[in-house]
Structure 1
Amino acid sequence: MTARPTKDRIVAAASKLFYDEGIRGVSVDAVAEKAGVTKRTLYYHFKSKDDLIAAYLEGRDQPNLALFKRWFDEAVGGLAAKVQAIFDNLARAARHPKWRGCGFLRTSAELANMPGHPAMKIGAAHKKKFEAWLQAEFEAAKLSDAPLLARHVALLLDGSFATVLLHRDPAYMEAAGLAAHKLVSAAKPKRRS
């Protein structure tokens, strides 16, 4: 068995610490210690803590999107039920004691006064990818105004992340899933031209 590459160990350590404690609450020293490397080694692989924060979010991007797609694909029922399944699965995850919400939204809240930060751009791109994927699903189902419908569902999702984090009650995410189900069910098919 080959040892995990140093850079991967550093990102894994940062990911765990940043998600659990927030980016501002975690020092570079803490990340180096958790990764089992010196601070100098960490800075060899990452020029700054900002680069490490960006790597943390880049590492979450595709796995999160793949998970949402898997929940969607595995759901029984029509399009509305598949969209609702994303919310229901997130509500189940939110019941775990180690759940801390959306890493992208939490990071953006910590960096709200730094709109040009690389992590802000990565977070925004992640959210746009989710919205674009939903839009493609709605367009494939030939629903009218698919871009707006996708945006509405994305707003429900992010709003439920924030509300569940605030109240520590996953029922808000389930309620958002019901609202998304109603929106998708009420969507009209495209008119034939």
Structure 2
Amino acid sequence: MPTKILKIVIAGPYGAGKTTFVKTISEVLPIETDVPLTKNELDGKRSTTVAFDYGRMKIREDLVVHLFGVPGQERFSFMWKIIARGMHGYLFIVDSSSEERVKEAMNMYSFFRDNFPDTPHIIAANKQDLPNAVDIPIIKSILKVPYEVKVMPLIATNRRSALLVLVALLEEIRNTLLETIKYTR
């Protein structure tokens, strides 16, 4: 049986947890393109992704998922379309530790929705283990997430949490593909 390959993009603003998610879930040593931040840029992080993160996961004997994390800073936004080309779905990660951090995701989420309107995706509210994490309905409201799009809690450092989010996205991709096949026959 031939192996099916799915391309999943991991998007979200700077510091949301994209690199951590890829590291947590990848079965191979992830490729990272992080560079150190300058003293002026430091805000609790020491580095930032400048091209992409890459990881891979074998779901079944006949299904392999390639994970591509895009850089979250606006100055690298030219990479978003390049990396997203040919994706089967995307996971949009937001830092849910405060409403301000969620609001930082608005422009990038709008970019992905506007440029890839028919691409299956879900929102992952990272850092839900923190005491003042923003509730899912509030995140959905701030980002103006369409009714049919799932918003799920995530702790990107926890493999089980990351797997639950990935499986939910794979189900969305499968359902979209089944709908497409049903309507093209």
Q: TM-score range, shorter-chain basis?
A: 0.3 to 0.5
TM-score (norm 2): 0.36
Larger radius of gyration: 1
**Greater per-residue helix proportion:** 1
